[in-house]
Structure 1
Amino acid sequence: MLIADFGLSIHETITGSNCENHGAPAFVDPQALINFLYELTKKSDIYSLGVVLWEISSGEKPFKNDSTKTIIFNIMKGIREMPVENIPLQYIELYKRCWHDDPEKRPDALAVLKELDQIRSHIE
C-alpha cells in the first residue's frame, strides 16, 4: 500500500490551510504538532491514513468548519472527528487505532491492509 500526494501538495503558513513542513493539520501526526522537530515516521503515515479512512466514510473533509488554529488545538487535545452512523464498527475501530496519539499503538500498513480486506469480505 502506498499513499502519496504525487508532488501536488503545497506548504502555506500556519494561518493557511497547511502547516509549514508537515502538511494539512487535520492529517498531521499529533506528535509533529506538539514538537515541531519531531521526525515523521511510517507511524505518522498511518495516522494520516486513519484520517483518510474517516474521510472516506464521511464524505467530508475533517474539521471542515474549523480554523487551522482550532484544528491544531483540538488534535493536540486528542479530539478527533466523530464516527459516522451506519459504518461497520470494525472499520471505525480500525481508523481510531490508526489515529491513536501514541505512535507505538498504531498498526502497521500490512495490518491495516489485512483488516480492510476482512471488512470488505464481510460486506460483500
Structure 2
Amino acid sequence: MVNGSLRHVLIRKDRVLDRRKRLIILMDAAFGMEDPERPICKVGDFGLSRIKRNTLVSGGVRGTLPWMAPELLNGSSNQVSEKVDVYSFGIVMWEILTGEEPYANMHCGAIIGGIVNNTLRPPIPKRCDSEWKKLMEQCWSPDPADRPSFTEITHRLRDMSTALQKKRPNLASR
C-alpha cells in the first residue's frame, strides 16, 4: 500500500489525521467488511475477517490478541460470526482515534484475562465525540448479539460524516 499499514499511518509524526480523514478510513473499512465483493478497502489482518456466517474454528485460536473478541479467547464456543470482526473494528476505531496501540504495555495473560472477563477495554479519551464513543462501545460489547452489523456501522459512520460536514462545510472542499 502506498502509505503502508494503518499502524504506519497512525504513528507518523508529520501527518495528522483530522476527524474527517479518520471517518473516511473507518467508512472504507466498514464498507469493505459489509461487502467483500466491492473493492474499497484492503483489510489485511482483522481478526477472522470476511466471516459472514457462523463458522467452526478449529486448530486453535486465530487472530491478533488486543483485537480479539472475548468469545474467541474464552473457549466457551466453537461458533463465531462476523461479530468477532465487529469487535475488532471497535478496537480499530479506538486506535484511529488515539493513534496508539491498545494495551501496549500489558502482558499477554493480563490482556486475555481482561478481555475474557470483560473488565478490559481501551480507555476512551474525554475529547471523544459522543456518537463515536457510543458506536465504539457497542462494537466491543461483551455480548456479540449487542454488537451492530457492518451495515448498521456504515450507516452510522455516514451519519457522523454528514453531521461533521454540516458543522464545518469548509472541510468538504479540502
Is 1:42 aligned to residue 54 of structure 2? no
Structure with max Cα Rg: 2
Question: What is the total number of aligned residue pairs between the two structures?
Answer: 111
Query: For residue 21 of structure 1, what is the aligned residue in structure 2?
Result: 61
Opposite residue 61 of structure 2, the aligned amino acid is: N
What is the aligned partner in structure 1 of residue 44 from structure 2? 5
Compute the displacement of 1:77 (Å). 1.7
TM-score, normalising length: structure 1: 0.82
- Residues 31-63 of structure 1 show CA distances to partners (whole Å, capped at 9, x for unaligned) of 111117533311111011011111111110111
Aligned position for 1:71? 111
Q: Which moved more, 1:44-53 or 1:77-86?
A: 77-86
1-side partners of 2:117 and 2:88: how far apart?
17
CA distance in 1 between partners of 2:79 and 2:97 (Å): 29
1:32 and 1:39 in contact (8 A); partners too: no
Cα distance in structure 1, aligned partners of 2:70 and 2:98? 21
**Alpha-carbon distance between aligned partners in 1 of 2:104 and 2:79, rounded to the nearest angstrom:** 27
The equivalent of 1:53 in structure 2 is 93
- Which fold has the larger relative contact order, with Cα–Cα distance below 8 Å and residues 6 or more apart in sequence? 1
Residues 5, 36 of structure 1: alpha-carbon distance in 2 compared, 3 angstrom cutoff: farther
Q: How far is the alpha carbon of 1:29 from its aligned partner?
A: 1.2
Counting aligned pairs with the same residue, the percent is 25
Give the TM-score, by structure 2 length: 0.59
Q: Which runs of 5+ in 2 are unaligned?
A: 1-30, 34-42, 46-59, 166-174
d(CA) in 2 for partners of 1:55 and 1:38? Answer: 28
Give the deviation of 1:22 after TM superposition.
1.8
Q: CA RMSD in A?
A: 1.6
Using the alignment, how far apart are the partners of 2:78 and 2:109 within structure 1? 19
